[in-house]
Amino acid sequence: MMRGRRGAATAVRRPDGSISVNTIPLDISKRPRLLSLPFIRGTVALIESLTVGMQALMYSANEASEEGEQLKPGEMALSLVAAIGLFILLFIALPNLIVGWLQRSIASVVLVNLLEGLLRMGIFLIYLAAISRLKDIQRVFAYHGAEHKTIAAWEAGVELTVENARRYACAHPRCGTNFLLLVMLVSILVYSLLGRQTVLMRIVTRIALLPVLAGISYEVLKLAGRPNPPAIIRWLSAPGMALQSLTTREPDDSMIEVAIVSLKAAIEMDNAAV
17-26, 58-67, 81-90, 237-246: segment of lowest average pLDDT: 58-67
pLDDT of 110 > 90? The answer is no
Top pLDDT among 57 and 91 is at: 91
For the residues of the chain, what is the DSSP string, one character each?
-EE-SSEEEEEEE-TTS-EEEEEEE--GGGS-GGGGSTTTHHHHHHHHHHHHHHHHHHHHHHHH-SS-----HHHHHHHHHHHHHHHHIIIIIHHHHHHHHHGGG---HHHHHHHHHHHHHHHHHHHHHHHTTSHHHHHHHHHHHHHHHHHHHHHHT----HHHHHTS-S--TT-HHHHHHHHHHHHHHHHGGG-S--HHHHHHHHHHTHHHHHHHHHHHHHHHTSSS--HHHHHHHHHHHHHHHHH-----HHHHHHHHHHHHHHHHHHHHT-
- The pLDDT tens digits for 142-176 are 999 999 999 999 999 999 999 999 999 999 988 98
pLDDT of 273 > 70? The answer is no
- What is the pLDDT at residue 202? 94
In which band, very low, low, confident or very high, does the pLDDT at 237 lie, cut at 50, 70 and 90?
A: confident
Among residues 189, 38, 200, 176, the alpha carbon closest in space to that of 109 is found at: 189
- What is the pLDDT at residue 140? 94
Q: What is the mean pLDDT of the chain?
A: 91
Q: How many whole angstroms separate alpha carbon 134 and alpha carbon 93? A: 26
- What is the pLDDT at residue 22? 95
Contacts of 180 (CB under 8 A, 6+ apart): 124, 240
Average pLDDT over residues 67-77: 77
pLDDT of 186 > 70? The answer is yes
pLDDT of 103 > 90? The answer is no
Supply angle C-alpha 227, 149, 240, rounded to 5. 60
- What is the pLDDT at residue 242? 93
- Angstrom distances, CA of residue 153 to CA of 44, 87, 157: 28, 33, 6
Q: How many whole angstroms separate alpha carbon 8 and alpha carbon 18? A: 20
- What is the pLDDT at residue 210? 94
Within 10 angstroms of residue 232's Cβ, the number of other Cβ atoms is: 10
- What is the pLDDT at residue 248? 96
9 near 260, Cβ under 8 Å?
Answer: no
In which band, very low, low, confident or very high, does the pLDDT at 132 lie, cut at 50, 70 and 90?
A: very high
